[in-house]
Structure formats: C-alpha cells, structure tokens
Amino acid sequence: MKVEEETNPQDEINVYLKVIKTVPLKIKRSETVSQLQTKLAKTEGADPELQKLFLHGDRLQDNKMLAEHSISGGQHPEPVPES
C-alpha cells in the first residue's frame, strides 16, 4: 500500500537557487582569459574547463589576452557554466 503525504501550501520548504555573484579579482590586462578562469577557480572553486566568460554578449576566447578583448578595470565579464 502506498501512502501519499498531504502537502499544505503553507508548509515551509528548502529551495536552493544557483546565483551569480560579483567576485573581485586583480589581474593584468596582459594575462589571458584562461588565466582569469584559473584565478576564478582558485577563489570560487569553479572548474576552468567548465567556464565560459562573456562580455557584452560576446564570448571571450580563452587564449586571448584581456587587452585583446578591450577589457579594462571595472568591467564585469559574466561567467556562464557549461552544462
């Protein structure tokens, strides 16, 4: 016999959301996107192999320097984990 548990809309539940937060990192403009991904991995545990970074909707190429992508201080590349 299977007993189904009644649920009340007022019951509290745990919900886990994945959110992106701002992580400040110091890096030289001559360093590559791959080096930025490695620094992010060291501080946040995000595997560099699974990271894709975007700036203004354009994917940043791992082997290019930040300067080649016209990245300057204060900009916010967006990490998107690969599924």
Q: What pLDDT, in 10s, does the model give residues 23-73? A: 888 989 899 999 999 998 998 888 888 888 888 889 999 999 998 998 888
- Residue 78's pLDDT is 76
Which structure tokens are listed for 26?
């110091």
Report the predicted TM-score, pTM, of the whole model to 2 decimal places.
Answer: 0.70
Q: How many CB atoms lie within 10 A of CB 59?
A: 13
**Cβ 78 vs Cβ 39: under 8 Å:** no
Residue ranges and CATH numbers for the domains of the chain are 33-81 (3.10.20.90)
Task: Return the higher-pLDDT residue of 69 and 12.
Answer: 69
pLDDT at 35: 93
Asked if 48 and 34 count as a contact pair (C-beta separation under 8 A), the reply is yes
